[in-house]
Structure 1
Amino acid sequence: MSFDTENHPGVCAQPSNASQGFVFNHSMLRVKDPAVALDFYTRVFGMRVLRKLDFPEMKFSLYFLHRPVADNPPPEDIGERTAWTFSQTGILEFTHNWGTEDDPDFKYHDGNAQPQGFGHICFSVPDLDAAIKWFDDNQVPYVKRPEQGKMKDVAFIKDPDGYWIEIVDPARLKNLGRS
């Protein structure tokens, strides 16, 4: 029998057939200045912008980013690409409320200051040492370097809006959480 789920209090033993086909599509971060956030995520993480949607009546824009997958390119047609975007996994959505970029005192809550809430997003990398060098070369600020703290081989960096990004190398995590 293949693995299905770990069993813990609150875990539903048999999900309803009504949820078949549900796909976790995206997480959203609010960004102060889209040019700064887009530069960081496209340059440092190699993400690409799939779509930008503007909502002038509500004065905000949405940007949908992803990491390209060679065997699953997005469609050229804008309508097809929009539908394709909402069928993928691992999409990062930025919401930009117009005018925040012009307010020098404006800042979003990062979720890690009190009161805590949202914690972080995570990128898996093929080589943690190479990724750390890349972040250092790009002067990316750290919350925690991989050699610091009790949890080794896991790094936390900050994006331009102060959101935390966990960086993991899956091959180094086989013993994580084991006694």
Structure 2
Amino acid sequence: MRILHTMLRVGDLDRSIRFYTEVLGMRLLRRKDYPEGKFTLAFLGYQDESEGAVLELTYNWGVDHYEMGTAYGHIALEVDDVYQAAEAIRARGGKIIREPGPMNAGSTIIAFVEDPDGYPIELLGPKH
């Protein structure tokens, strides 16, 4: 078994695709409309789906926002340097919601960015 994808519901698919491709550097792997179900799916990632897990963005036609709820945590991305990644994301228009620095009760350097729908994304350096 392996993890294939994580699905996020988004209120504006084009806005979210721009964020994940232009701000976080992912590629749009595929996109498909489902007119009978009134939804569109877009799959994005850093590598092909056969090589690793990706994000599935689901746009339900006519729904422009969702409640975050209390169970959702975050998506984590590994970056070479958390400080540099946060600055690059900020320079491309990304919203940093937790500046880079040591995690609470630990020494691992982390930062958080927020996507256009309010989903938090953690930035972590490589494990050594």
TM-score (norm 1): 0.64
1:108 aligns to 2:70 (yes or no): no
Point out the structure with max Rg over C-alpha.
1
Q: 2:117 aligns with which of 157, 161, 165?
A: 161
Structure 1 stretches of 4+ with a deviation exceeding 4 A read none
The residue number in structure 2 matching 1:96 is 59
8 Å CA contact 1:110–1:164 kept in 2: the answer is no
- Closer, same or farther in 2 for the Cα pair 1:41/1:154, shift >3 Å? same
Letter in 2 for 1:107: H
> Shift of the alpha carbon at 1:26?
0.4
1:138 aligns to 2:92 (yes or no): yes
> Shift of the alpha carbon at 1:157?
1.1
Q: Quote the RMSD (CA, aligned, Å).
A: 1.9
CA distance in 1, matches of 2:101, 2:82: 11
Which structure has more relative contact order (CA 8 Å, sep 6+)? It is 2
8 Å CA contact 2:12–2:59 kept in 1: the answer is yes
Letter in 2 for 1:99: G
Q: Which runs of 5+ in 2 are unaligned?
A: none
8 Å CA contact 2:24–2:89 kept in 1: the answer is no
SS, match of residue 83 in structure 2:
helix
8 Å CA contact 1:146–1:154 kept in 2: the answer is yes
Report % sequence identity: 39
> Shift of the alpha carbon at 1:128?
1.4
SS, match of residue 144 in structure 1:
strand
CA distance in 2, matches of 1:146, 1:45: 16
The residue number in structure 2 matching 1:59 is 38
TM-score (norm 2): 0.87
Select the structure that is richer in helix. 1
Instruction: Provide the aligned length of Structure 1 versus Structure 2.
Output: 126
CA distance in 2, matches of 1:143, 1:132: 10
Q: 1:122 aligns with which of 69, 73, 76?
A: 76
